[in-house]
Amino acid sequence: MKYTYQYFKRDISWLSFNHRVLLEADDDNLPLYERINFIAIYSSNLEEFYKIRVADHKAIVSGAKTDKESILASQETLEEINMEVNSQLEERVRIYEHKILPALRQNNVIFYQSSIVEPFHKEFIRNFFNEEIFPFLQPVLVSKGDIVSFLRDNRLYLSVRLFKMNYKANNPSRIQYFVIKLPYSKVPRFIELPQQEGNYYLMYLEDIIKANIGTIFPGYEVDCCYCIKISRDADILIDDTASGNIVEQVKKKVKKRKIGAVCRFVYDRLMPDNFLDFLVDAFHINRAELVPGDNHLNLEDLRNLPNPNKLLRINEKPQPMRLNFLGKHSSIFQYVRKKDLLIHFPYHSFEHLIHFLYEAVHDPMTKEIMITQYRVAENSAVINTLVSAAQNGKKVTVFVELKARFDEENNLATAEMMQNAGINIIYSIPGLKVHAKVALILRRNDKTKPVSSYAYVSTGNFNEKTAKIYSDIGLFTTNREIVQDLHTLFLTLEGKIHQPQFKYLLITQFNLKPELMRLIYHEIELAKQGKEGKIILKMNALQDQEMIDELYRASEQGVQIDLIVRGICCLIPGQPYSENIRVTRIVDSFLEHARVWYFNNDGEPKVYIGSPDWMRRNLYRRIEAVTPILDKEVKEEIIEILNIQLSDNQKACFVDSHLHNIFKYNTAASPIRAQYAIYNFLKNKNLEKIKIRNP
């Protein structure tokens, strides 16, 4: 029977992922402040979602040249988004107010949720307001008219309604409205109050202002005040196919992000209708942008909530380990010359990658270092090492992607600094983002005897800060074909090769998708022959319908498919055409970020790692790099880790046909929490004594 394949909507699927993040805050087994942090992550994720995805749909709906079908589709999606977000926000309120706050109180941390405080704190908050807050407040009168006060993106404002004393009853027209921007740059959002009888006290900055609001407006009586915020469209479109300087265009476009169109106006849901109506008219807000919120907005700030009770248990995450055979003074070059090396972040120390680059700096045979940079850490040790290499006489070439969303300014500043240090900078390719995470160390000597060059292919950025919280893997190898392929890729990025050929590496725009199709088709053929057809795909997102269709077809032929997809997954499991496909989602202490693909290949597995997800943007609008794993021991290590993740019965969920996160709890089996099990697995391997013979 021929079925019509169906797909989840991308944005609704993403909301399912963010709901899974919220569920971590509901887990009583986690340390309390870890749960609070997940509320912050959930809120931060949602903020970016509105700025990019919701703003995009609103632009389609309001676009004069948009076709009717696209408008209707976006309108329908926006309605679904609103329903789902409202449902999730109700759950967030339940978790925060009925679980988190009582749990804090049980641990002697009293977190005030309004301007009403105990009598013994009244003098403190009055003095604190007068001395620390009041000097930085600048109330702005709001009125209906041609002049509209500008509200900054994602900044909290206190909207105030007041009237002159003795005028309210006789002359309602004398009511006035003000907005006050909360002075976060001068005062913390959360204020620690004096202890009392063994209890610790915390209070929101805005609640202290509310408690003293009359001081700001002498001669007036304050009727009420509520927090508001605006989210602005942050998706900047850079037409790098047009003539002109890409650097100057990025600089101009980034500045415009701060004044982007309003995509969300969030307000305290307790605000009276007539108060809200006034603000809507005064700020020219489209009612489609209204989103009711809680008493306290911007809960992403909770990641900075002070922990005054030092006895309160914190989450002890696994600390990065150093590999025994790669001590402080051991040569990674020497090890990799004999055997491929796989590094797992954040379980292994990022210092090994820095050490690798430092070896290149001081190695007399290293002539050139080539590397990509997508998201650069501030004060990056990687960048400092590249600068040292250039100063040490090495030729250094860095491809800097200026179109990395929200990192444009940092990438641009870093690129200019590197250029001033003598590093050859290649900027964005017209029409494409370079998302590959690769490095190449080219070595030569003056003798006829060949020397090894080194390739590094990773699933994560060269960013030591994200390497502490993102789960990624990177491969070091001296395999000549992979080194040559990587050199070809860099020459292509430089515009020196226009029709490259790759033997081992899979590169989008050239050979990635055809090879993926071939690998899936091979598993289908094995299943047709009665052999085991098996595929395991780990990635952050699965959206491309053409690739999903291939997986549907494989399932129909009996190929067993396990998907480990953290975020967006548009493939619908549990259908007649997907009955052999299982979708697993893991959310835990670290962000699952690695992309790993396994094809059983009749018992001789083929395993790949690299930078792309199976999103349309990755497969069609980016340069991505994927490497096969050729070393047998390294391959077995990756397969073991995939099996650990599929065995997780603590933090893993099945995603069902309704986008519900169904936990894989199994009380009959031993508890397996994949990230911690992987850490122990790698730790045990590290304890093995590995001796490296001198070359």
Three-state DSSP at 517 gives helix
DSSP 30-74: S-HHHHHHHHHHHHHHHHHHIIIIIHHHHHHHH-TT--HHHHHHH
8 Å CB contact between 595 and 539:
yes
Instruction: With beta carbons less than 8 A apart as the criterion, state whether 408 and 440 touch.
Output: no
Active site residue 435: yes
CA distance 616 to 340: 32
Instruction: Give 151's contacts (C-beta < 8 A, 6+ positions apart).
Output: 157, 179, 228, 229, 230, 283
- How far is Cα 275 from Cα 281, in angstroms, rounded to an integer? 10
Taking the alpha carbons at both ends of the chain, their separation in whole angstroms is 62
CB atoms within 10 A of CB 603: 9
CA-to-CA distance for 160 and 282, rounded, in angstroms?
13
> Can you tell me the distance from the alpha carbon of 520 to that of 597, in angstroms, rounded to the nearest whole number?
11
Stretch (H or E) spanning 207: helix 205-211
- E-state strands within 430-518: 433-434, 437-443, 454-458, 470-477, 506-507
Query: Which of the following is catalytic: 348, 435, 487, 522?
Result: 435
Which uninterrupted H or E stretch holds 654? strand 652-655
On whether the CB atoms of residues 139 and 278 are closer than 8 A, the answer is no
Given CA atoms 200, 205, 207, 211 in this order, what sign does their dihedral have?
positive
Q: Which residues make Cβ contacts (< 8 Å) with residue 591, sequence separation at least 6?
A: 469, 470, 471, 566
Torsion of CA 77, 79, 80, 86, to 10 degrees: 140
CA–CA separation, 645 and 652 (whole Å)? 8
Cβ atoms of residues 452 and 445 within 8 Å: no
590 burial type by CB count under 10 A (0-12 exposed, 13-18 middle, 19+ buried): buried
Separation between Cα atoms, residue 144 and residue 159, nearest integer Å: 15
Beta-carbon contacts of residue 595 (< 8 Å; ≥ 6 apart)? 459, 538, 539, 540, 609, 610, 611, 612, 613, 626
Pairing of strands 661-663, 581-586: unpaired
Tabulate helix, strand, coil % of the chain (nearest 5).
Answer: 40, 20, 40
CB atoms within 10 A of CB 223: 15
User: Based on C-alpha coordinates, what's the Rg of the chain?
Assistant: 28
Active-site positions read 435
